Amino acid sequence: VFEDFDAITKSVKIINESEEDVNILRALSANVDFKEDDFDFVHLSGAWARERHIVRTSLRSGMQSIESRRGASSHAQNPFMTLARKGSNEQNGDVYGFSLVYSGNFLASVEVDMYSKARAQIGINPFDFSWLLKPNESFQTPEVVMVYSSNGLGEMSRTYHKLYRKRLCRGAYRDKTRPILVNNWEATYFDFNADKIESIGKTAKELGIELFVLDDGWFGKRDNDNSSLGDWVVDKNKLPNGLDDLANRINNLDLQFGLWFEPEMVSPDSDLYRAHPDWCIHVPERHRTQARNQLILDLSREEVCDYIIDSLTAILKSVNISYIKWDMNRNMTEIGSPCLPPERQRETAHRYMLGLYKIYEKLTTAFPNILFEGCSGGGGRFDAGILYYMPQIWTSDDTDAVERMFIQFGTSYGYPQSMMGAHVSAVPNEQTGRITSLDTRAAVAFLGILGYELDITKLSSEETVEIAEQIKF
């Protein structure tokens, strides 16, 4: 019980005290029964570039649920739900919130029985899940954070915001104003060199920007998205003097330097895959489906986790990096691990999450002064599990100001604004084609963590003045 924050957390630990093996098929984290069903089911749903729109429907007889079976909490649904009393709104009415501190497959459901009683449940999705528990072993489910408000949805949201900012987020940046950044992606994509990056940095400094972030394309032979994921060594064709030289050039402009990684993935066209073709999630002798020309590394394997930790540590120790954008651009298919016996194959997806959290823990502990930002094709893994390790998450790949109002408002139901990355991008917007004023784009981005994602070297004189004023504000 978090008395000062008006919240309750719940989880389940299963201990096998018998002398026999126990096979767990279902292990949810919270179950709450209500004496009536006079509620609306409120949840956050959408798709890539349209994440976390608010959906509100009446409870009905039978089962209503949201879930992810994609190996991540997903763009489609969020591990958060609310039961809101009929007629309740932002300021008034009884509201019960459920937020799962987990980043993988989940199930959140409400069942109304024949007597009009409602049962709410949330936890790891039983789909494609089992866990073999040997004698004297235990299994720990993720925590659920439960909040009650008698003053509508607004009070519920503020409770989550306070609790997550002070009791879930950690690290040096938890209570700090975040640096205003510019990301080079929409300015250069894969086509850049050190001089081009430095020219963007010079303009950034003139505008008052504090952090420059080098996005995809700096490693391996990465001229498009067909290769090199897993080969975390600098591309000397683009940066012949290395990453450290570029970081120094940016630092000499009095800017911090940040870097993009996608550490959980591997390209079939990579040195890593050629050396270890069995290191990806797959079922032996079955087809390996690629998405975005990549496969997912098997983080249920200790040696794979160690490789990621060692690869990133080598870079972070040799280059003055202040910020990491941690991306993850595809979901799981053919979920299996050749290192697990047949009776443990359905443990793969959860073991992956445990491996990922282990990597996060090691790196964020070893480099406490680096600001880590989570990303998953935008907002595909925007959840409280990530927030424990990373104080901010890229809210969506859709940077259109109008669409972002819906995305950011929905996200704010369960997550604080200090968690939401929000950037001003070029128009027409790349995702929607919409044209909005620079003033409107900034006004929406101000409601999260402000950044810029456009070629600032091509601004008009009027835009240059306006952006400098936005940053000053």
Provide the annotated active-site residues: 327, 397
Contacts of 359 (CB under 8 A, 6+ apart): 263, 299, 305, 308, 309
State the first-to-last Cα distance of the chain, in angstroms, to the nearest integer. Answer: 39
Compute the distance between CA of residue 38 and CA of residue 393 in angstroms, rounded to an integer. Answer: 35
Compute the distance between CA of residue 115 and CA of residue 35 in angstroms, rounded to an integer. Answer: 9
Closest alpha carbon to 139 in 120, 124, 122: 124
Q: 93 - beta bridge partners?
A: 151
Query: In which region does residue 87 sit, left (phi positive, over 0), alpha (psi from -120 to 50) or beta (all else)?
Result: left
How would you class 418 by CB atoms within 10 Å of its CB: exposed for 0-12, middle for 13-18, buried for 19 or more? Answer: buried
Residue 81 and residue 43 in contact, taking contact as beta carbons nearer than 8 Å: yes
Q: Where do we find the tokens 């998205």? A: 225
Question: In degrees rounded to 5, what are phi and psi of residue 39?
Answer: -135, 160
Compute the distance between CA of residue 388 and CA of residue 390 in angstroms, rounded to an integer. Answer: 6
Residue 148 token pair: 């009650």
CA geometry: angle 363, 369, 372, nearest 5 deg: 55
